Amino acid sequence: MVFQDSLLVTLVQLVDRVPMPTPPTKRGRGHPKVYPDRLFLKALVIMIVRHLHTVHELLCVLAQPTSEMVTLRALLTEQDLFPSRRTWERRLKAIPETLP
């Protein structure tokens, strides 16, 4: 039996192929980023496709026990860590400033 990923999972996987700008050579002030910007672009794709307007809605949808959501949660995990709600809010708010 052949398993086929949903369109949403495929779109999120395509984000890994998008070229990203090189990070600045000098790190800014504050705590270093634990999660890459690409992770938050994946979340943004999910929010756009599913018409989710808040981080709370995103986290509620990702908490559903479907195979699609289990796969998406795995794609949004970095080094076995999943960002907290506050991290999602802060980094998604900063995405427009970081895009070229």
Residue ranges per structural domain of the chain: 7-14+34-98
In whole angstroms, how far apart are CA 98 and each of 22, 23, 47, 80? 11, 10, 18, 25
Each residue of 25-49: pLDDT tens digit? 777 787 777 888 889 999 999 999 9
Question: Which tokens belong to 55?
Answer: 């981080």
Each residue of 53-95: pLDDT tens digit? 999 999 999 999 999 999 999 999 988 999 999 999 999 888 8
Q: Residue 88 burial (CB < 10 Å; 0-12/13-18/19+)?
A: buried
**pLDDT higher at 97 or 89:** 89
pTM: 0.83
- The single residue listed with the structure tokens 């504050």 is 30
